[in-house]
């Protein structure tokens, strides 16, 4: 028996995942951009003047879980990051795209996402905690 479209879609989401709930409209977000592959919204706890998240619609847990089949999606998400940066006016002065992978990087949501940070001078990239 073949899967229904609904069942097939559910394979691409995780019931208890925060970002799955946001991209499926079950939790609110301040949406800045949306297309068939990904969505951009403001981070609820910004660590820079501008802090946006680019989140794929499909549930991919980590960067290390991404496979060849995600290459197009991830390239697309980078371009959406650049597009959103332009849209919100931080492109000319510069910004940073970042992915936290795992515990040491501080990943807390296990649904792949790209942080877009900007709107002012940023800290040094990758400074070990407690070294400053």
Which of 57, 111, 113, 115: binder of Zn ion (CB under 5 A)? Answer: 111
Residue labelled with tokens 């394979």: 11
- If one asks whether residue 115 binds Zn ion (CB under 5 A), the answer comes out as no
- If one asks whether residue 106 binds ligand AMP (CB under 6 A), the answer comes out as yes
71: three-class secondary structure by DSSP = helix
Where in the chain does DSSP place strands (E)? 31-34, 38-42, 50-56, 95-98, 114-118
- The interface region with Zn ion, picked from 16-24, 27-35, 76-84, 112-120 by CB under 5 A, is 16-24
114: three-class secondary structure by DSSP = strand
Residues assigned a catalytic role: 113
Contact set with ligand AMP (CB under 6 A): 18, 29, 43-45, 53, 100, 106-109
């Amino acid at each position: 028996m073949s899967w229904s479209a609904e069942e097939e879609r559910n394979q691409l989401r995780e019931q208890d995942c925060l970002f799955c709930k946001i991209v499926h409209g079950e939790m609110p977000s301040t949406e800045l951009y949306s297309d068939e592959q990904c969505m951009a919204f403001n981070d609820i706890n910004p660590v820079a003047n501008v802090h946006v998240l680019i989140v794929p619609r499909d549930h991919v847990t980590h960067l290390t879980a991404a496979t060849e089949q995600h290459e197009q999606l991830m390239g697309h998400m980078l371009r959406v990051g650049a597009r959103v940066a332009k849209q919100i006016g931080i492109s000319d002065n510069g910004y940073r795209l970042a992915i936290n992978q795992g515990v040491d990087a501080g990943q807390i949501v296990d649904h792949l996402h790209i942080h877009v940070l900007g709107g002012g001078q940023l800290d040094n990239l990758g400074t070990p905690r407690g070294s400053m």
